[in-house]
Structure 1
Amino acid sequence: MTSWLGEWANLLLRWTHFIAGIAWIGSSFYFIWLDRALTRPEQPKAGVEGDLWMVHSGGFYQVEKRRPGPGEVPAVLHWFKWEAMLTWISGIALLVL
């Protein structure tokens, strides 16, 4: 690999690792805050441990914390795992490079 190409790959991987790490830490802090901000629902609902109303950019969001049993998980589920995975992959690639 030519020296300039290696330098650009190193720079790109470092910035990818840095930004992915910030996203991972940010989502971790968000969920720590979210767990602490949840309150018991005014009218108890089956399976709901806590809820929270939030506003962002003119939209209102209602978040409910549940512990679903087997077969109760929805088909479409957003996972906050890609930030961590990209941080690990880019870090390992930096070690290899």
Structure 2
Amino acid sequence: LKSRNAFVLNSIHYDGQKKLDTIEITNIPDLSKAKKVLIIDDIVDSGESLDAIRKKILEIYPHLEVKLAVIFYKPSAIIKPEFCVKEAKEWISFFWDFEV
């Protein structure tokens, strides 16, 4: 990507496999000097979380060009990322998911 500007934000929409009624988005970085942003996620399941993140970022920084990239994508999602690696056909448990 030829960029050293990488940031992490947090969103919570699931508790294990249970979808929550709300989407909590925290740790939004200062993107005021950016022109383009690529939001990367592991999976688009319903698409609600990634859609909410994109909308929140554009609400705060309307000047940005925002693109989405994911590892796995479900065609039933409400949004389609510009970049994806593979279609997901069932629930995927990632090794980095953990129970507290």
Question: Same fold per TM (> 0.5)?
Answer: no
Q: Answer 1 or 2: higher relative contact order, Cα 8 Å, separation at least 6.
A: 1
**Which of the two has greater strand per residue?**
2
TM-score, length-scaled by structure 2 = 0.24
